[in-house]
């Protein structure tokens, strides 16, 4: 073999080595950006190989697909998924439901949240009417309950206080749990209670629930003829929440109270679980003017999964797919439990055929997302399910394990990867980081 042939062989070897190096670099750049959770699928053992620590991959991820409709599963489990409203704590405390397992009386629980790909879950500190006269004490008891659950399930969840905590907790492969008070009665008549709640981890307060209080008039009471907006004390509450860095939640708030918040607040606001009044004329939904005002404040509307907030004539006693077809859905799961992509594809096919035309569906829910997008843009939409709050969700979106089906349907309806990521979590993270730090 002469020298020339040897040189050619070495050139070929070097060329192959360079090609392989380029391939693996490209592969690395498209792997999961969610730290060490490859696509967040708990059955995966993959590791994120990205070593660039200067980029915030949580809020500024590298895009992974040019075809979301084809690669919806990878996108879903790579994206940050946030649910801004869940009432599981009430079910645990008052109905003896299990916080971890797939309890038959709940729509969530840690197992379902993990399976559905939740990264950040807000738990509502809801105050039942019989506890209104001791609202502060009741909320503190709920926080104690959550802290005990956090210790019990420390390998799965951790309470987050700020954006840095969220990054650290999700990087560790756990769900970041956060708290929001549903009803400003918890503040009682003492602004210092806002500071106390903030120190304990509360990051938003819904100024009213269905009842009016010392802060202002609720949407339900206003719909029944009660007049008025924020009180003087209510405006002081808004200013104190701005000062401490706590999100103001206007879901459940009467419209005049809403406008008083808009006039008073210096920070973006959220509607943690509300939809579009134009599409569904319910007093809990937001008018076009309100949606525009939230957007003008750089805030966010989190879409509620309650069927009669989605469609005006939704049947109040309807059953969802899992209640009617539990056997069939279980059979699909057992057949494909080792291939999650195939499982969700087969589940989607089954639900597409099984969902009655007169039932509220994922498509009806996405109509509200479409509407807000067309009205003010994609940057002001998020998810606030109201799961475990006594709701009937869309027929084919029956519990937290169905979140991937929402991403799949968004992709089928033409949403881009960037738009889907914003809806699932990035929009809320933007607001949270600005207000809460």
48: closest CA among 80, 78, 18, 82? 78
Separation of first and last alpha carbons in the chain: 69
Cα–Cα distances in Å, from 294 out to 83, 239, 262, 286, 401?
19, 17, 8, 10, 30
**What are residue 213's phi and psi, to 5 degrees?**
-150, -165
Instruction: Please tell me the distance from the alpha carbon of residue 184 to that of residue 216, in angstroms, as a whole number.
Output: 9
What's the confidence (pLDDT) of residue 316?
A: 78
**What are residue 51's phi and psi, to 5 degrees?**
-110, 0
What's the confidence (pLDDT) of residue 20?
A: 53
What's the confidence (pLDDT) of residue 436?
A: 98
**What are residue 365's phi and psi, to 5 degrees?**
-60, -45
What's the confidence (pLDDT) of residue 308?
A: 94
Instruction: Please tell me the distance from the alpha carbon of residue 87 to that of residue 369, in angstroms, as a whole number.
Output: 23
What's the confidence (pLDDT) of residue 94?
A: 97
The per-residue DSSP string of 292-356 comes to HHHHHTT-EEEEP--HHHH-TT--TT---HHHHSHHHHHHHHHHHTT-HHHHHHHHHHHHHHHS-
CB 156 within 8 A of CB 110: yes
CA torsion sign for 209, 261, 436, 38 is: positive
What's the confidence (pLDDT) of residue 55?
A: 81
- Digits of tens for pLDDT over the chain (437 positions)? 555 555 555 655 565 556 555 544 443 343 344 333 333 443 333 333 334 557 898 999 999 999 999 999 999 999 999 999 999 999 999 999 999 999 999 999 999 999 999 999 999 999 999 999 999 999 999 999 999 999 999 999 999 999 999 999 999 999 999 999 999 999 999 999 999 999 999 999 999 999 999 999 999 999 999 999 999 999 999 999 999 999 999 999 999 999 999 999 999 999 999 999 999 999 999 999 999 999 999 999 999 999 999 999 887 778 999 999 999 999 999 999 999 999 999 999 999 999 999 999 999 999 999 999 999 999 999 999 999 999 999 999 999 999 999 999 999 999 999 999 999 999 999 999 999 99
What's the confidence (pLDDT) of residue 11?
A: 59
């Amino acid at each position: 073999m002469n020298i020339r042939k040897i040189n050619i062989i070495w050139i070929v070897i070097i060329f192959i080595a360079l090609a392989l190096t380029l391939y693996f670099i490209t592969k690395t750049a498209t792997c999961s950006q969610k730290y060490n959770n490859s696509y967040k699928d708990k059955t995966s053992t993959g590791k994120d190989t990205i070593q660039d620590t200067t980029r915030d991959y949580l809020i500024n991820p590298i895009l992974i697909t040019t075809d979301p409709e084809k690669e919806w599963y990878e996108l879903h489990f790579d994206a940050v998924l946030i649910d801004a409203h869940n009432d599981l704590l009430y079910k645990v405390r008052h109905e003896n439901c299990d916080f971890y397992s797939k309890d038959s009386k709940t729509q969530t629980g840690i197992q379902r949240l993990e399976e559905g790909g939740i990264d950040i879950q807000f738990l509502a500190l809801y105050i039942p009417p019989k506890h209104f006269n001791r609202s502060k004490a009741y909320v503190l008891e709920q926080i104690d309950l959550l802290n005990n659950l956090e210790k019990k399930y420390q390998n799965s969840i951790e309470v987050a206080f700020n954006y840095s905590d969220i990054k650290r907790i999700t990087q560790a492969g756990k769900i970041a749990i956060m708290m929001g008070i549903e009803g400003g009665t918890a503040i009682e008549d003492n602004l210092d209670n806002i500071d106390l709640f903030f120190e304990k981890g509360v990051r938003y307060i819904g100024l009213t629930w269905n009842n009016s209080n010392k802060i202002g008039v609720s949407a339900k009471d206003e719909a029944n003829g009660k007049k008025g907006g924020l009180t003087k004390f209510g405006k002081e509450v808004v200013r104190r929440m701005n000062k401490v860095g706590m999100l103001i939640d206007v879901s459940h708030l009467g419209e005049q109270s809403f406008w008083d918040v808009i006039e008073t607040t210096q920070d973006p606001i959220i509607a943690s679980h509300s939809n579009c009044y134009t599409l569904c004329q319910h007093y809990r939904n937001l008018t076009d003017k309100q949606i525009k005002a939230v957007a003008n404040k750089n805030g966010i509307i989190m879409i509620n999964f309650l069927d009669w907030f989605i469609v005006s004539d939704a049947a109040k006693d309807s059953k969802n797919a899992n209640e009617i077809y539990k056997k069939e859905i279980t059979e699909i799961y057992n057949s494909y439990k080792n291939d999650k992509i195939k499982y969700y594809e087969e589940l989607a096919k089954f639900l597409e055929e099984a969902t009655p035309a007169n039932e509220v569906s994922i498509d009806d829910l996405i109509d509200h997302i479409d509407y807000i997008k067309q009205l003010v843009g994609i940057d002001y939409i998020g998810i606030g399910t109201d799961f475990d709050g006594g709701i009937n969700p869309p027929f084919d979106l029956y519990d937290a394990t169905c979140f991937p089906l929402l991403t799949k349907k968004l992709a089928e309806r033409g949403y881009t990867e960037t738009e889907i990521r914003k809806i699932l979590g990035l929009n809320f993270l933007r607001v949270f980081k600005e207000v809460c730090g």
